[in-house]
Structure 1
Amino acid sequence: MSDRRISGFKPTGPLQLGNYVGAIRPVVDGQDQPTIVFVADLHAMTVPGDPQRLRELSLQVAGLLLASGVDPRRTILYRQSDLPAHAELHYLLECVATYGEAHRMIQFKEKGGGSGTRLSLLTYPVLMAADILLHDIAEVPVGRDQRQHVELTRDLAMRFNERHGPVFTVPRATHPAIAARLADLADPAVKMGKTNASSNGVLFLLDPPDVLRRKIMRAVTDTAGEVAYDPENRPGVSNLLELLAVATGDDPRRIASGHTGYGALKRATADAVIALLEPIQRRYHALSEDDIEQVLAAGAERAAERADATVARTKAAMGLSSARPARAGSPATPETVPASR
């Protein structure tokens, strides 16, 4: 089984501290293992958007990944739309998937359904399956809210292998340790996200130091006045403690024992967050657009060898090519599986 890991970052808004803690930092820390990282610009097109904004955000995401420590000498970093194999395998898998499978995916149920809904919102889980299967990924680290996508990928891979022979590695979902769930500073009941309705409580990775400090100093706390770590009953104060813990590597409960007032806690949190993001911002602003484009182009070229081989053997198995199926690296090692569902 392959030990490669894969992570995709969708350029639907500026990256924020929660993205860094939950997704970017684990990638950077795990680069001793073969790693593939891509900017998922095709996934960003499931909803209407401005083309120039999409391009700018795609470059910004790639630049922040590099500035955060993603090393293109060890990690393959590319832009999804620069690798045609994604779109090609997506269509081939659509010829194996069913409408019912796509329609019952939770994101479509929550966001789709109207006559103006883009068809891509229905079919993008199949594109996610293509993202994984292109690279013969055996284990996919996901949060439990994303497990449904991996299950669809497994179903499509198993069904294809049963009908056409052993072409795909059948992946399985793994659940890494849960990172701190950073909440919106202005509304602790809401997760900090890059597309929140208001940016007042979101710490973006490129926010200037004065903006970061202002947002943190205005963070919602409570009227108790005592610093204590109690996420269920005192989410505002607990969120500040988690922010400070994220920035310093300390434990939020131990931090709480060393603070007696909200003002001092907010100042310490602001100082630590600014210190954490300063080197990332400095490295990001030192990158030119050409620097980023060169890394992405080189990454797409490296990724294409395996991805194109996967598409070639898929097409051959489906009768679309008379050539023998191409294989990149070790052959796929699909699991022994029961009849497809």
Structure 2
Amino acid sequence: MSRIVSGVRPTGHPQLGNYFGALKQWVDIAEKADETFFCIVDQHALTTLRDLHTLKQDTMIMAATYIACGIDPVKNSIFVQSHIPCHTELAWYLTCMTPMGWLSRMTQFKDKAGKNRENALTGLFTYPVLMAADIVLYGATHVPVGDDQKQHVEFARDIVQVFNNMAKSDVLKMPEPVIQKSGARIKSLRDGLRKMSKSDISDYSRINLNDDNDLIALKIKKAKTDPDTITGDIKLLESRPELENLITLHALLENKSTQDVLNSFEGKKFSDLKMSLTDLLIAHLSPIREKVKALLNDQAYLNKCLKDGADRANKVAHHTMQQVRSSLNLLQL
């Protein structure tokens, strides 16, 4: 039986990279899976301690976005991480078995902590352990992730091996990473070498899913380009990151190959590409934006979806934790 587990941090409005890199692909994956758990990982959002006063609202926005993007809350378990106490309980047990050297080698910690590692928060350092708990708590067989998260799934696999060796039984299931497609490589509109991110200081670096049509048009108009004409040679895209990013977006929206899009714009100006891309983005994102607005105006429905999802998730989580506690020889009454 295939069981999919994944999640996104509720840190502001989702942007185009979240959509193509995760949410849209989840919809396709969910149709083929036997069981799916899509979590809003609010506890992971605490690792940066930014904008805590908006966390509740951001969580509801993310729930509405999941549904608006096509994740059916009846067929899929949509829930909030902090509503399932077993996440942090299991994370502590796994932390006790994790060598510090493993965490020190994690690429994302090095990148986010930078040169200020001594002042980096412990939550950021142990982030991979909580992510491992998120995954194995539900017996995930497959975990859809981008390239930057693959190391965390491999870390989870290492922890599963350690725990099962200690327990002398396959208590925790071994998850397999599912590397997401080209949508996971959407780049900043201001710098084609950097990933599109909600945390980028410039709002013009990204298309947010709640941007209105005029703002989408303005952001694409201001998107960084180069002075050369568009050619049909796909090999040249490596040296033209801004062109590659806009062509990739166009291809994703039209469900065409990069080469097909290049061919259609060969010899044309960037303004032609930008006008076409703007029209596609508006047509694609407007229905999602309006559905999110409607869902946010129906808090009772969203609350019910999250409660139903949490109830289903809790049943699986409690079953796993009974086995985990027994393996650790903890007293259970």
- Identical pairs, percent: 34
Matched, 1:201 2:205: yes
Q: Deviations over 1:165-222 (max 9, x none)?
A: 3211122334344436222222222221111121112111110000001111122222
RMSD, aligned CA: 1.9
Give the Cα–Cα distance (whole angstroms) in 1 for the partners of residues 321 and 305 of structure 2.
24
Q: Is the CA contact 1:231–1:239 (under 8 Å) kept in the aligned structure 2?
A: no
Counterpart in the other structure of 1:233: 239
Counterpart in the other structure of 2:311: 301
Give the Cα–Cα distance (whole angstroms) in 2 for the partners of residues 79 and 60 of structure 1.
12
Give the Cα–Cα distance (whole angstroms) in 2 for the partners of residues 42 and 150 of structure 1.
18
AA at the equivalent of 1:211: L
Matched, 1:250 2:256: yes
Q: Deviations over 1:216-262 (max 9, x none)?
A: 11222221234545321222233222222111112232223333222
Q: Deviations over 1:139-167 (max 9, x none)?
A: 33333432322222122212222222321
Q: Is the CA contact 1:227–1:261 (under 8 Å) kept in the aligned structure 2?
A: no
Counterpart in the other structure of 1:278: 286
- Shifted more, 253-262 versus 86-95: the winner is 253-262
Counterpart in the other structure of 1:123: 126
Counterpart in the other structure of 1:21: 20
- Shifted more, 170-179 versus 270-279: the winner is 170-179
SS at match of 1:157: helix
Q: Is the CA contact 1:213–1:270 (under 8 Å) kept in the aligned structure 2?
A: yes
**Structure 2 vs 1, CA of residues 153 and 236 (structure 1 numbering), >3 Å: closer, same or farther?**
closer
Q: Deviations over 1:6-43 (max 9, x none)?
A: 11101223211111111111111122212110001111
Q: Deviations over 1:73-131 (max 9, x none)?
A: 11110000011110111111122222222222222233335443221112121111111
**Structure 2 vs 1, CA of residues 110 and 255 (structure 1 numbering), >3 Å: closer, same or farther?**
closer
Give the Cα–Cα distance (whole angstroms) in 2 for the partners of residues 140 and 37 of structure 1.
10
Counterpart in the other structure of 2:158: 155
AA at the equivalent of 1:255: V
Q: Is the CA contact 1:135–1:307 (under 8 Å) kept in the aligned structure 2?
A: yes
**Structure 2 vs 1, CA of residues 132 and 299 (structure 1 numbering), >3 Å: closer, same or farther?**
same
Query: Could you state the TM-score of these two structures normalised by the residue count of structure 2?
Result: 0.90
Greater fraction of residues in helix: 2
Counterpart in the other structure of 1:58: 59
Unmatched segments (≥5 aa) in structure 1? 324-341
- Shifted more, 174-183 versus 94-103: the winner is 174-183
SS at match of 2:239: coil
Counterpart in the other structure of 2:110: 109
Counterpart in the other structure of 1:327: none
AA at the equivalent of 1:237: L
**Structure 2 vs 1, CA of residues 226 and 27 (structure 1 numbering), >3 Å: closer, same or farther?**
closer
Q: Is the CA contact 1:72–1:295 (under 8 Å) kept in the aligned structure 2?
A: yes
Give the Cα–Cα distance (whole angstroms) in 2 for the partners of residues 312 and 42 of structure 1.
23
AA at the equivalent of 1:10: R
AA at the equivalent of 1:119: T
Query: Could you state the TM-score of these two structures normalised by the residue count of structure 1?
Result: 0.88
**Residue from 138, 144, 147 that aligns with 2:141:** 138
SS at match of 1:232: helix
AA at the equivalent of 1:24: L
**Structure 2 vs 1, CA of residues 77 and 237 (structure 1 numbering), >3 Å: closer, same or farther?**
same
Unmatched segments (≥5 aa) in structure 2? none
Give the Cα–Cα distance (whole angstroms) in 2 for the partners of residues 180 and 154 of structure 1.
22
Q: Is the CA contact 1:10–1:39 (under 8 Å) kept in the aligned structure 2?
A: yes
Matched, 1:168 2:169: no
